[in-house]
Amino acid sequence: MSRIRRLDRLARGAPLRVLAGAAAVVLTLAPAGAQDAMDGQRFVPVRAETHMVVSQERQASEVGREIMRRGGNAVDAAVATAFALAVTLPRAGNIGGGGFMIVHMAASGETVAIDSRETAPAAATPDMFLDARGEADPELSRRSGLAVGVPGTVAGLALAHERYGSGALTFAELVAPAVTLAREGFEVGSDTAAALAHPSTTERLLADPQMAAAYYPGGAAPSGGDRLTLPALADTLEAIADGGPEAFYGGEIAQGIVDAVGARGGRMTLEDLAGYEAKVREPVRGTFKDYEVLSMPPPSSGGVHLVQMLNTLERQPFGTYGLNSADMIHVMAEAAKYAYADRAVYLGDPDFVDVPVAALTSKEYARQIEAKIDLDVATPSEQIAADPGALPRESNETTHFSVIDEDGNAVSMTTTLNFSFGVGFGTRGGFLLNNELDDFSAKPGVPNAYGLVGGEANAVGPVKRPLSSMTPTILLKDGDVSLVTGSPGGSRIITTVLQVILNATVHERNIATATNAPRVHHQWLPDYIRIEEGINHDTIRLLEEKGHDVRIMSAMGSAQSIQVGPEGALYGASDPRRPGGAAVGD
């Protein structure tokens, strides 16, 4: 019987299984952006004693929990959860995309970053997204076969299992739950149903015979609660279970990818797929207050700029500011301007460009930025530019999930197709492909789909990995896992993770309240603060008096987090901004 329970007095005396469901409902239905979220501990996390999975889709979370019940560790659970998300959350979960994973092994203290980011085909060229006039053409980088990167998810998950799995379960056993969900059917969540019914999605997917057959049985999008089977995807997953990653990167599955990409003008070959390698990298490391911060290195910009902003903010008087006060939002926005300006210049694939990670994440550099921040006046973004001379010398549609097992091992993984449902077409193998190559700089100074400006360091090139904002992160305290978090959200991922960390640590909110609090975002260009509903109107007025352009816009991110309490219990929160997620455990 599940030991998860709601931590409020009203729940006492009710059956534990009922309470486990109630806890998930509280997190799913709580109003995002409510003022109470920043003024108190209104929202209630889900609690578990031994292990927990928090993901954006309930059925996938339950798959991960079951793996740990069977003796698997956090890595095993993460692999199974990721494959399940490829079935139950098709807008972002995938085998046709890529992702990043931070793995912490408690016994050894080892923490690694697994890079399964997509790569450009060998025939990629710097001008392949330009039209006849030499201008960037978004249709080429977002909707054509040229937009598709060589998928990395399957290779990354296989690598994680091989090196860091428990050994108690085979790779085939971890893929098997996803096969069952695809073949026997899964319950379509309301979020997935709404996404499939959206006009922009139907326009793209109905134009592809394979995806039309898969997701629009009878010609119409399924409703929430309907049962959907995906037999072609089940066959593909079964082949991966039986043959491992080699079955995906060669043979009929690989040929299906090449055919689908080539039919739409792409340049991918069987050799590109056969040559793909997931990589183990050293995580970005930093410190913030009493915590060690472990996050994703390049080709993600997430970890670098998360640590950079935490360093810049570390000496601010958070207790005086208060959560989501005008002063707090002001200093976060100013710190973000400098980080995103640096992102545009320095960040790219570390296998091709020299990324000054140590310099950007140093306390020395943060002090230089801190000195430039006027606490009363906003600095216009046009006055901020990356300054190579200031660096000390060195010696986007996405989903996230977090896992902790009973031994204290932890996984933070963010995986993506880029846009919702990726490039909008798939393969005869029944899975969608990514349009991740839009994350390259099609032309220096031209924004991508998320408004991010890039430069030569992130130019398109053969076998290069495009820059990302994904920020899977683990915080340690006294050597033990304290917080596991991450989020989807394109350019807004980094600031979402930043605010979850600040809210949970210096503002001392429980993880549910830390997640529900209204969010803000600044990314240097365009020069305005984006805020969610729920920020006090007096706060907005004070920000405007400081010179900020403030715009209330739609919700940002979908953080999936686990916090370890001082007594060792696990507290999980699935962000209500996107319904259907769940924190589950025992």
By annotation, the residues acting in catalysis are: 398
Q: Is 348 within 8 Å of 467 (Cβ atoms)?
A: yes
User: Closest Cα partner for 562 from 217, 102, 29?
Assistant: 102
Six-digit token pair at 107? Answer: 């016994």
User: Closest Cα partner for 437 from 208, 138, 89, 155?
Assistant: 138
CA 516 centroid distance within chain: 17
Whether the upstream peptide bond of residue 380 has omega within 30° of 0, thus cis, is no
Beta-bridge partner residues of 572? 46, 562
CA angle 550, 554, 560 (to 5 degrees): 115
Please give the full DSSP string across 122-155, using - where no structure is assigned.
TT--TTTTB-TTS-B-HHHHHTSGGGPPBP-HHH
Please tell me the distance from the alpha carbon of residue 397 to that of residue 279, in angstroms, as a whole number.
22
Six-digit token pair at 137? Answer: 């053409």
Q: Which residues contact 458 (CB under 8 A, 6 or more apart)?
A: 347, 348, 349, 439, 440, 441, 466, 467
User: Closest Cα partner for 447 from 346, 333, 525, 340?
Assistant: 525
Please tell me the distance from the alpha carbon of residue 586 to that of residue 584, in angstroms, as a whole number.
7
Please tell me the distance from the alpha carbon of residue 18 to that of residue 167, in angstroms, as a whole number.
34
CA 443 centroid distance within chain: 25
Cα dihedral 514/518/524/527 (nearest 10) = -170
Please tell me the distance from the alpha carbon of residue 269 to that of residue 150, in angstroms, as a whole number.
9
**CA count, 13 A, side-chain hemisphere, 407:** 17
Please tell me the distance from the alpha carbon of residue 498 to that of residue 504, in angstroms, as a whole number.
10
Pairing of strands 529-531, 550-552: parallel
At residue 482, φ and ψ (nearest 5 deg) are -115, -35
Pairing of strands 111-116, 279-281: antiparallel
User: Closest Cα partner for 386 from 354, 347, 338?
Assistant: 338
Instruction: State which amino acid sits at residue 277.
Output: E
User: Closest Cα partner for 332 from 375, 385, 364, 388?
Assistant: 375
Residue recorded with tokens 């109905």: 206
Please tell me the distance from the alpha carbon of residue 580 to that of residue 559, in angstroms, as a whole number.
13
Instruction: State which amino acid sits at residue 303.
Output: G
